[in-house]
Structure 1
Amino acid sequence: MTVIAWIVEGTWPACVDAIRTHTPEGDDIVLLHVTGPDAPGAAHGAFAGLLGRARPDHDPGTTMEHLAATAGEHLLDAAAERLGRPCTRIERLGRIEREVVAAAEGADLLVLARDGDRTHLGPRSLGHASRFIVDHAPCPVLLVWPEAAPGTDTIPPPPPHPPHHR
């Protein structure tokens, strides 16, 4: 069985722990980190706005790309160490939600953590990228809480009117 864990700053330990708890030793584990293009792209754009007045070797976007890749590598290293079993590490660059969905093609399970409002149960506990991934994943998804889940008393109340039946 191939299991992919989406490794994200702040929530990755819960994903790794879920793999250790819910998958047998012999499974193929892939730790996936995706760096989005936003910050390096903005820096490249700002630099390009100088209309060639600056030296190309001083483009801050390139530096930001290297920093983001290094940060991703450190996260993957920490996740692999916590996992404590053989795994493959993959770093991708692109639109985060689409890269995770693409990487999950052919996998047997995708593990990700809630990254939105984690003080209440409900749909807002998923950020934009996580919602997209859950909705479009081409395989089963194990969605974990990075910390203890809030109580059921945090479920929003039902709407004030009864639903219409046709």
Structure 2
Amino acid sequence: MTVIAWIVEDTWPACVDAARAHAPEGAEVVLLHITDPEASGAAHGAYAGLMGRAHPREHRPAAEGWGSDPGTAVEDLAAASAADLLAAAAERLGRPCRRTERVGRAGREVVAAAEGAELLVLARDGDRTHPGPHSLGPAGRFIVDHAPCPVLLVAPEAAPGTDPLPPGSPPPPPHL
């Protein structure tokens, strides 16, 4: 049995705890982190655009950072952050696991990684202050709709009440 836990910066503890609780002894647990390439792509693009309008290259001092694409630094920082996050998740899990890093669109990468798995654990990634469909963001909704295996959807913190009206609201009309 393979259990995949999608590790995201602000919700990973809930996913790790759920994977630990629901993965049977002997099951392979995979901690999966997805890095979105858009940040480094934006840095690459901004650098290329600015460098195209700047002074000739030979007039830029290397000591001032000219000539180094910041997109590469962003990629390196993202990889280091993902490795640190996966290490913390593995430590919290407290059992043998496999750590997997992917780069791409989160929803598509998680669905692709879940191919052949028996369970996928993910946390709500939308509005966590109210129950309902908006508690899933675009990536979470895509994953729930397209996952090739059963999905365990966890709340990253205490779930909000089931009362759809916030405290202090007037009561609903009698016909509801």
Partner of 2:45: 45
Q: Which amino acid aligns with 2:39?
A: A
Structure 1, unmatched stretches of 5+, are 157-166
Partner of 1:115: 125
Q: For the Cα contact (< 8 Å) 1:121–1:155, is it kept in 2?
A: no
Alpha-carbon distance between aligned partners in 1 of 2:33 and 2:17, rounded to the nearest angstrom = 16
The question of 1:4 aligning with 2:1 is answered no
Q: Which amino acid aligns with 1:149?
A: A
Partner of 2:158: 148
Partner of 1:63: 73
User: Which SS does the other structure have where 1:30 is aligned?
Assistant: strand
Q: Which amino acid aligns with 1:88?
A: R
Alpha-carbon distance between aligned partners in 2 of 1:155 and 1:74, rounded to the nearest angstrom = 40
Alpha-carbon distance between aligned partners in 1 of 2:140 and 2:165, rounded to the nearest angstrom = 20
Partner of 1:105: 115
TM-score, scaled relative to structure 2: 0.84
The Cα of 1:25 is off from its aligned counterpart by 1.9
Residues 121/72 of structure 1: CA separation in 2 closer, same or farther (3 Å cut): same
Alpha-carbon distance between aligned partners in 2 of 1:100 and 1:147, rounded to the nearest angstrom = 22
Partner of 1:89: 99
Q: For the Cα contact (< 8 Å) 1:120–1:155, is it kept in 2?
A: no
Q: Which amino acid aligns with 2:154?
A: V
TM-score, scaled relative to structure 1: 0.89
Alpha-carbon distance between aligned partners in 2 of 1:57 and 1:104, rounded to the nearest angstrom = 40
Alpha-carbon distance between aligned partners in 2 of 1:146 and 1:115, rounded to the nearest angstrom = 9
- How many residue pairs get aligned? The number is 160
Q: Which amino acid aligns with 2:36?
A: G
The question of 1:25 aligning with 2:25 is answered yes
The Cα of 1:154 is off from its aligned counterpart by 2.8
Q: For the Cα contact (< 8 Å) 2:124–2:137, is it kept in 1?
A: yes
User: Which SS does the other structure have where 1:154 is aligned?
Assistant: coil
Q: Which amino acid aligns with 1:59?
A: D
Alpha-carbon distance between aligned partners in 2 of 1:92 and 1:155, rounded to the nearest angstrom = 40
Alpha-carbon distance between aligned partners in 2 of 1:108 and 1:9, rounded to the nearest angstrom = 24
Structure 2, unmatched stretches of 5+, are 167-176
- Percent identical among aligned pairs is 72
Q: For the Cα contact (< 8 Å) 2:126–2:136, is it kept in 1?
A: yes
The Cα of 1:101 is off from its aligned counterpart by 0.7
